[in-house]
Amino acid sequence: MMTVTDSAAEETPNASAGEDGNARAYSVSELSQALKRTLEDAYGFVRVRAEVSKVTRHASGHVYLTLKDDRAAIDGVVWKGQVRSLQAQPEQGLEVIVTGRITTYPASSKYQLVVETMEHAGVGALLAQLERLKARLNAEGLFESGRKKALPRMPAVVGVITSPTGAVIRDILHRIRDRWPCRVLVWPVVVQGEQASVQVAAAIRGFNALGGDNALPRPDVLIVARGGGSIEDLWAFNDEALARTAAESAIPLVSAVGHETDTTLIDYVSDRRAPTPTAAAEMVTPVLAELKAATVELERRMLRCASRGFEDRRHRLNAAARGLPRPDDLLALKRQGFDLVSGRLGSALERNASAHERDLVRVGSRLSPQLLDRPRRLKAERVAEFGARLRPATLRRLQQASDRLQSLSQLHRSLDPDRPLARGFARVHAADGALVRSAAALKAGEEVRLVFADGAKAAVVEGEAAPPPPKPAPKPAAKPPKVAPGQGDLF
């Protein structure tokens, strides 16, 4: 049903008569502008209750929609600057109450409602919207039990996301302190209003980002808690973005929003739902006294079981021992055999010694010094023969080595570079110590060193390098000596 707060104005533009008595002719633009002013003046502020349909979000940021009831429809537009400030975002099938003003769009001869505010039409509309959102998230698998994580049995750190003031945080801290003393990290947030869902989602992401180089430890389990209230008070926990953030949390999350009869969207995506914040504290922590009592009972049962096991094995050992023969019976025959063997041992040793003595006498009768002297004599003869041949051969080898050493010594003396110095020759060395082998290798003014047999002197080369000495002319062939007359020639 659509209602307006202002009645329609009945004023219409006056049609003045022309000079010929006919009505004045308006241009299309003039008529459109006149209608636009009339509508805007008569319906400058209207409040309409309707159902939203045909929502179009333009790339410019404006939102175009249609407001309808069961009998009529009117186009609407939300300008870009007003979209964020709307309490309820336009969505297909949503029942809302909008306020704005009526205007026209002259280019197409249409009128439309410029929306300035939009809010839900009532609790029924909110619940219908929530049911549609729940159906979509359920279709995506966010409510499936297979994706829910198990809570830790004995958490070391518990993270609590709630308001820092109020009875909720005090009840949780008191309950945890009584049951399981552990470290509790509180992330303060607002739990009601437009910013509640944003802050709770940021707190969940912040707890998941702890650990590593951070000074604070990462919690083992999270609790999102809030006291009871109306559906409007708890509506922030039905936010889609918050539900998706809770579903993506790597840390197990317990939802404790409202009382036991209150249900919000975060309850479906969390790993566990607690009816109250106090129940959430009991759900994530064990009772230390109960664990101690259970440990003592387990220890007592372990000791009883061990005692029964030892007693049972003792009985079984005794039963098995009754079926075994006595040790004396097992050793009697061995003892008797040992006595018989030890009694024959002395006579057996005497007989063994007598047999060895007879063998020694039999072999010793064949032994004599001549048997050992003959091999010794043969070896001495071989040594003497070898020695007679060894001396001449050794002397020949020594003579050959001496002759070779003497020839090498003569060759060494002939190749000694200092030997010609004793006959008046000298060696010429360059400034770097290299041996000068020809006059062409020296330049005028170059320093040289002359090495004689009795020492060395420094010198400087003067003048041009001496030309190489001419090759000696070949000597003429020797003439045969004159033979005195009457003397014969031997050749």
Structural domains in the chain, CATH included, are 28-121 (2.40.50.140), 152-286 (3.40.50.261), 421-460 (no CATH)
In the predicted model, is pLDDT for residue 246 greater than 90?
A: yes
Tell me what pLDDT residue 390 has: 85
CA–CA dist 6, 133 (Å, integer): 36
Tell me what pLDDT residue 8 has: 37
For 180-219, b/e burial (b = at least 16 CB within 10 A) is bebebbbbebbbbeeebbbbbbbbbeebbebeeeeeeebb
- DSSP assignment of 249-260, as one string? -SS-EEEEES-T
The 10s digit of each residue's pLDDT in 475-486 is 655 555 554 444
Contact 292, 283 (CB under 8 A): no
- Total number of residues shown for the chain: 491
CA–CA dist 479, 6 (Å, integer): 167
Q: How confident is the model at residue 452 (pLDDT cuts 50, 70, 90)?
A: confident
Give the contacts of 264 (CB within 8 A, at least 6 positions apart).
234, 237, 238, 255, 257, 258
Confidence (pTM): 0.45
Q: How confident is the model at residue 457 (pLDDT cuts 50, 70, 90)?
A: confident
Give the contacts of 183 (CB within 8 A, at least 6 positions apart).
156, 157, 158, 217
Lowest mean pLDDT among 10-24, 253-267, 357-371, 386-400: 10-24
Average model confidence (pLDDT) across the chain? 83
Tell me what pLDDT residue 4 has: 37
Mean pLDDT of 360-374: 77
CA–CA dist 251, 373 (Å, integer): 106
Mean pLDDT of 392-416: 87
- Residue 342 half-sphere exposure, CB side, CA atoms within 13 Å? 6
Strand pairing class (110-120; 455-460) = unpaired
Highest mean predicted confidence (pLDDT) among 75-84, 196-205, 380-389: 196-205
Mean pLDDT of 169-189: 93
CA–CA dist 51, 97 (Å, integer): 9
DSSP state of 59: T
Instruction: Name the 3-class secondary structure at 127.
Output: helix
Contact 219, 157 (CB under 8 A): yes
Mean pLDDT of 212-231: 88
Tell me what pLDDT residue 122 has: 66
Tell me what pLDDT residue 7 has: 34
Helices (H) and strands (E) in the chain, counts: 11, 13
Q: How confident is the model at residue 210 (pLDDT cuts 50, 70, 90)?
A: very high
Mean pLDDT of 87-93: 81
Q: How confident is the model at residue 206 (pLDDT cuts 50, 70, 90)?
A: very high
Q: Which of 5, 7, 230, 35 is nearest to 98 (CA)?
A: 5
In the predicted model, is pLDDT for residue 89 greater than 80?
A: yes
Give the whole-number percent of the chain exceeding pLDDT 70: 89
Q: How confident is the model at residue 439 (pLDDT cuts 50, 70, 90)?
A: confident
Lowest mean pLDDT among 164-168, 223-227, 275-279, 459-463: 459-463
Mean pLDDT of 255-270: 90
Tell me what pLDDT residue 491 has: 38
Handedness of CA 225, 229, 231, 234 (dihedral sign): negative
Tell me what pLDDT residue 5 has: 36
The 10s digit of each residue's pLDDT in 73-88 is 889 999 998 888 888 8
Q: How confident is the model at residue 336 (pLDDT cuts 50, 70, 90)?
A: confident
Please tell me which residue, 48 or 231, carries the higher pLDDT value.
48
CA–CA dist 288, 180 (Å, integer): 5
Q: Which residues pair with 103 in a beta bridge?
A: 112
Tell me what pLDDT residue 252 has: 96
Please tell me which residue, 425 or 309, carries the higher pLDDT value.
309
The 10s digit of each residue's pLDDT in 280-333 is 999 999 998 888 888 999 999 999 999 999 999 999 998 888 878 777 877 888
Tell me what pLDDT residue 19 has: 54
Residue position matching structure tokens 């973005």: 241
